[in-house]
Amino acid sequence: MNGPLLEVAGLRTSFSTPRGRVRSVDDVSFTLAPGETLGVVGESGSGKSVTSLSIMRLVERGGGQIDGGTIRLRRGDGSRVELQSLSDRRMRAIRGNDIAMVFQEPMTSLDPVWTVGDQIGEAVRLHQGLTRRQARARAIEMLRLVGIPDPQSRADDYPHQMSGGMRQRVMIAIALSCKPALLIADEPTTALDVTVQAQILELIKSLQDEIGMSVLFITHDLGVVAEIADRVAVMYAGQIVEEAPVREIFARPAHPYTLGLQQSIPGSPVSGAANGRLKTIGGAPPDPLSVPAGCRFAPRCPLVQPACREETVALAEVGESHRARCLRWREVRAQ
């Protein structure tokens, strides 16, 4: 397949609140190649999940609205569709079939009154027209694929009869049952212990190699990003502030927020730990209803200068396949 699988350009998404309209995603642009994994990282409220829900066109169901930009997907037949302008009926045909999503908390994502086999089978019956018997066979096949023992028996279990790790595997089985070209994983390991987290990450990587899908992996954990991603996009206050290949962003960060995140990781080569205490990023993210002029990170930035507070800072090239939204990126690298 020539060209990117997914192109997001100038995406803007907002929500109406009692205090006014909040712009949760503001001018976000990136591409995703076939078979590639893009890690999207940032603090809570940075816009990571809203970006993914906008791509899935689920943000409207939560009271959100896509205000501008384009979300272009290349389908299996080579045609391109602009998701932001599709009708609900056409989007339903793509959602689950071409693009699938694994959510953060499997217990609230799975229906408690349906068996897991029926929930996996529903997706393939809806999108691929399989009979009930064929759908059950596919459900058992998918449970086996995601490493659940005795899949024929466990297909008749209800979600509450499974552990958290097994429920997350069921969510992955549902997402992959139609062999989508793109999997969006929204912090799929957050509620799991470290051992199960490692198993889920390894499962996603192995299934990606087997199926050949692209992955948009959303997390707040840079350690997970280093483990699974090919490229990384760092988000802050609704914007991408840095994007680069994973090795480049760890070796040569060009934004003070990215550097601050790295310094807060225990054991990191650039850790700011001193006297047994980790270095932290001072202050707090801005109020989304009154984001500062100029650079949105300026109130917390140790390198801030007057121009940072006054000028609109664009996401600019700072190296090969490396972009950063910072006027002082050379000084960040020097640190």
213 and 173, same structural domain?
A: yes
Residue 1 in any domain: the answer is no
What is the tens place of the pLDDT at every residue in 256-306?
A: 999 999 988 776 666 555 556 778 888 899 998 889 889 999 999 999 999
- What range does the domain containing 134 cover? 6-229
55 and 27, same structural domain?
A: yes
Contacts (Cβ under 8 Å, ≥6 apart) of 223: 265
205 and 124, same structural domain?
A: yes
pLDDT, position 1: 53
Q: Answer for the pair 41, 246: CB distance below 8 angstroms, yes or no.
A: no
Residue 202 has pLDDT above 60, yes or no: yes
Structure tokens at 136: 């059950």
pLDDT, position 301: 95
pLDDT, position 107: 67
148: nearest Cα among 103, 100, 106: 106
Q: Answer for the pair 222, 199: CB distance below 8 angstroms, yes or no.
A: no
321 and 182, same structural domain?
A: no
End-of-domain residue from the set 189, 214, 229? 229
> What DSSP element (H or E) covers 149?
none
pTM score of the predicted model: 0.90
240 and 213, same structural domain?
A: no
250 and 196, same structural domain?
A: no
Give the total number of structural domains in the chain.
2
End-of-domain residue from the set 178, 194, 229? 229
328: nearest Cα among 269, 281, 27, 307: 307
What is the tens place of the pLDDT at every residue in 50-90?
A: 999 999 999 998 889 999 999 999 987 888 999 999 999 99
155 and 37, same structural domain?
A: yes
End-of-domain residue from the set 163, 197, 229? 229
152 and 25, same structural domain?
A: yes
